[in-house]
Amino acid sequence: MLIRIAAFLVIFLLLGGVFYLLTRIRKFSFVKKLTEKYKWLNLAFALLPLAVIAVFCFIDMINTLVVVVHLIIFWGLSDLVFLIIKKAAHKSFRRYWQGLAAVAVTALYLGSGLFFNYHVFETDYSLTTGKDIGDGLRIVQISDSHIGNTFDGDGFAEHIQRIKKTKPDVVVITGDFVDDDTTKEDMIKSCAALGGIESRYGVYFVFGNHDKGYFGYRDFSETDLRNELEKNNVILLEDECVELGENFVLVGRQDRSAGIRKTVSELTESIDKDKYMIVLDHQPNDYDAEASAGADLVLSGHTHGGQMFPIGIIGVAFGFNDKNYGLEVRDGTAFIVNSGISCWAIQFKTATASEFAVIDVKQK
């Protein structure tokens, strides 16, 4: 019932916002002149924006709504700011500058969001431990590639060429490698790219909530994905532990969306706690248990770094996630949430940037 009420309120506010935009468009001087001269254009200026929104919604509903919502918000803020200026200065504006400002700010804001979504940065972390770990460990974390969204299989292979230059000791994939819109061809190319990585301990993979598919319309199965990963020497960890040399142990958890998975304490009860323990868990929402289990480092993705302000803040506030992005140390455990090398559906990142992480662990 609450969900229905919330959905109704969202739709009501959105429709109200669109109506508000239609009334604002009429304030531009050239629109006023045209509608005064040609009365029939009043209807045109009412229907044309609605038609444009409808067409773009048909092509890409999610991102069209993202643009419209931001335009409504920035236009409202612009009107408010100019009203305050008008009252303070005791003067009116001959032109409707607030409309131009709203469009410009929306374009710049979402334009930067496009850039930070499609441009992949390298993020470096340096961690220390009191445990005996010899020469240390360089981990490269790749998360939320959602192959086929911002790049295809060939594009993913280009990113892997950058990653290979970092000379990792181990590479970990923390979920949502593919999703429903990934093609089989791109999946195969991406798995082959992972197979070309040379590292001391290899490449390890845990499933995310999108990897097994939601809607069943993609042209490959979960079994096809498993086979291609294994063919390219990528090791799948599903509630399993594996030792990396003498000093490290890697724990790969089933994703929370799987429904049934072992608790982290069950997974780690037989692990030698003198070894440096790294836990891979796609969704960052079991921090207290993972810290209590003695994990030294927990790597996650899923949140896309919050994606767009204020989505991430809301997610943490309502308890969907323990953290949106970055490094946090809790009870001696270092938690890192990766923003993802790509994203799902929404083509803008205004709260973060796309990345892969290079994590150096050294002995104190």
pLDDT tens per residue across span 218-276: 999 999 999 999 999 999 999 999 999 899 999 999 999 988 899 999 999 989 889 99
- pTM metric for this prediction: 0.91
Q: Which residues pair with 17 in a beta bridge?
A: none
What is the bridge-based pairing of β-strands 170-174 and 137-142? parallel
Using DSSP bridges, classify how beta strands 297-300 and 276-280 pair: parallel, antiparallel or unpaired. Answer: parallel
Task: Give the phi and the psi of residue 155 in degrees, each rounded to 5.
Answer: -65, -40
Percent of the chain with pLDDT over 70: 98
The two structure tokens encoding residue 359: 């994590």
User: Tokens for 343?
Assistant: 């994203």
In the predicted model, what is the mean pLDDT of the chain?
A: 91
Q: At what angle do helices 2-25 and 97-118 cross, to 10 degrees?
A: 130
pLDDT tens figures, 305-353: 999 988 888 888 888 899 999 999 998 999 999 999 999 889 999 999 9
Is residue 15 within a helix (H) or strand (E), and if so which, with residue range? Answer: helix 2-25
CA 358/CA 335 separation, integer angstroms:
14
- pLDDT tens, 136-147? 999 999 999 999
> Which three-class secondary structure string do you get for 51-63?
HHHHHHHHHHHHH
pLDDT value for 26: 77
Q: Is residue 124 pLDDT above 80, yes or no? A: yes
**pLDDT at site 27:** 78
In the numeric block, the tokens 């992005």 are attached to 325
Residue 1 pLDDT > 70, yes or no?
no
